[in-house]
Structure 1
């Protein structure tokens, strides 16, 4: 009898809870028809317009994620009509791919504490000096004696121009034709273009065949002396590599080094892949 009473009490408790849920408007189970939605990758504008809409004079206030890319293109003297021509693939750079400044947060307000970059292109490819014998000047600890860039104009205009030309491929590449192996696309970079020795970009030897370690990771070949006739900083064959990788958030990789922040945006004249970290504008 005691056992039966306990079971009865438990049953009444469950009934009370269920009734209470209905009483307070909490239904036990609500049928919900799942509706599948696929995000539309079409941006319904040219790559040029997309750049301008999120550049230094944005359509949405403070949405300036391509501001420093736009300023770099202007400094380099590149006609933005290149971003309206059809059948192309465009590498877009968010501000943090170019320069990241140190900040501090006070009472919930983020304040920039210095104009000297701590990450991005301007930090990783600093201005450098040479020894009297023409070799790269190093500090006593063996690190490069470089000065972080603070503005595009610190770089030679030729280097900035070639940098951005190397980010425009004259073929269409995206998820519909990409594979897990590298696809090499021709770019607008002039054939044989080499970076100057004014910044560290011009001290990375660029090759035409993969240079990998035993783990299969890419090796960056920075040198301390330059050899006439070699190409530095840019791809000797004026090409870039893309491949699909098994990553939920960054499924597209550029030159075996940097994953896209957003990939596969469909402009009216081609595809856009956006990067938010440092990129290396040579394949090998």
Structure 2
């Protein structure tokens, strides 16, 4: 009887799999096979520059202010905002959680304020840091060239030159960033994500402003990876 039960379970599993595959065919849902996937039909073109997009989701009377902390940091650092209007670049934009992520009233170590402690404690504002430090970091998030799922990236790390000055980071003297496509997916509905410095997964990928590419992250990217 025990042997028969196992066989029944196997048959049930096979039938379920067959039905699932049939359903995919019926509703024209193709199983994901590799990271070179066909882009979704949603238009990724923003029709504005990276700077205008960042501002539009930061300060311009918009309840959607997911980049406000980044915008405030840019202004504090004194970096030339025209850098976000230059063409042919990849712009890493920081969701608010990448800067100050709080869970149960505790600043998490995977955000900028939690990873870069001030006198042993998380920072509470950008002015807790020297302006040069913040400017170096934002320059690190500006990449020379356009990098997306369909352009210049593979499943192996690509080392990319950033705008940060060489020597700005002790453990990364050339100020390089590593990017790759992770050739794995939790389900057929999830795109194969872009990973930065072997640790941070891009939250929203391949947005297309008029002057390059935007990748959005919600965790701290360590430039000294």
Report the Cα distance in structure 2 between the residues aligned to 1:57 and 1:126, rounded to whole angstroms.
31
Aligned counterpart, 1:56: 59
Quick one: structure 1 residues 125 and 250, their matched pair in 2 at CA, closer, same or farther if it must change by over 3 Å? Answer: farther
Quick one: structure 1 residues 187 and 33, their matched pair in 2 at CA, closer, same or farther if it must change by over 3 Å? Answer: closer
Aligned counterpart, 1:14: none
Aligned counterpart, 2:107: 117
Does the 8 Å contact 1:263/1:273 carry over to 2?
yes
Q: Partner of 1:267: helix, strand, or coil?
A: coil
Quick one: structure 1 residues 176 and 249, their matched pair in 2 at CA, closer, same or farther if it must change by over 3 Å? Answer: closer
Q: CA deviation at 1:34?
A: 7.1
Aligned counterpart, 1:262: 204
Report the Cα distance in structure 1 between the residues aligned to 2:181 and 2:138, rounded to whole angstroms.
23
Aligned counterpart, 2:50: 47
Which stretches of structure 1, 4 residues or longer, exceed 4 Å deviation after superposition? 32-35
Aligned counterpart, 2:213: 271
**Greater helix content:** 2
Q: Does 1:191 align with 2:166?
A: yes
Please tell me whether Structure 1 or Structure 2 has the larger radius of gyration of its CA atoms. Answer: 1
Report the Cα distance in structure 1 between the residues aligned to 2:144 and 2:121, rounded to whole angstroms.
34
Q: Partner of 1:184: helix, strand, or coil?
A: strand
Report the Cα distance in structure 1 between the residues aligned to 2:141 and 2:164, rounded to whole angstroms.
8
Report the Cα distance in structure 2 between the residues aligned to 1:71 and 1:250, rounded to whole angstroms.
31
Does the 8 Å contact 1:184/1:240 carry over to 2?
yes
Cα root mean square deviation, aligned: 2.3
Once structures 1 and 2 are overlaid, which stretch shifts more, 244-253 or 47-56? 244-253
Q: Partner of 1:274: helix, strand, or coil?
A: strand
Quick one: structure 1 residues 39 and 70, their matched pair in 2 at CA, closer, same or farther if it must change by over 3 Å? Answer: same
Aligned mate of 2:181, from 244, 248, 251:
244
Aligned counterpart, 2:23: none
Does the 8 Å contact 2:181/2:192 carry over to 1?
no
Does the 8 Å contact 2:175/2:223 carry over to 1?
no
Instruction: String of CA shifts for 1:79-131, please: whole Å, max 9, x gaps.
Output: 2110110000011100001002345xxxxxxxxxx5x6344110121113xxx
Q: CA deviation at 1:56?
A: 2.8
Instruction: String of CA shifts for 1:30-70, please: whole Å, max 9, x gaps.
Output: xx9979x7111111111001100001334xx3200000000
Does the 8 Å contact 1:250/1:260 carry over to 2?
no
Q: Partner of 2:124: helix, strand, or coil?
A: coil
Report the Cα distance in structure 2 between the residues aligned to 1:185 and 1:168, rounded to whole angstroms.
10
TM-score normalised according to structure 2 size: 0.75
TM-score normalised according to structure 1 size: 0.60
Aligned counterpart, 1:173: 147
Q: How many residues align?
A: 184
Q: Partner of 1:273: helix, strand, or coil?
A: strand
Aligned counterpart, 2:88: 87
Q: Does 1:68 align with 2:61?
A: no
Question: Which sections of structure 1, spanning at least 5 residues, go unmatched?
Answer: 1-31, 104-113, 129-145, 195-230
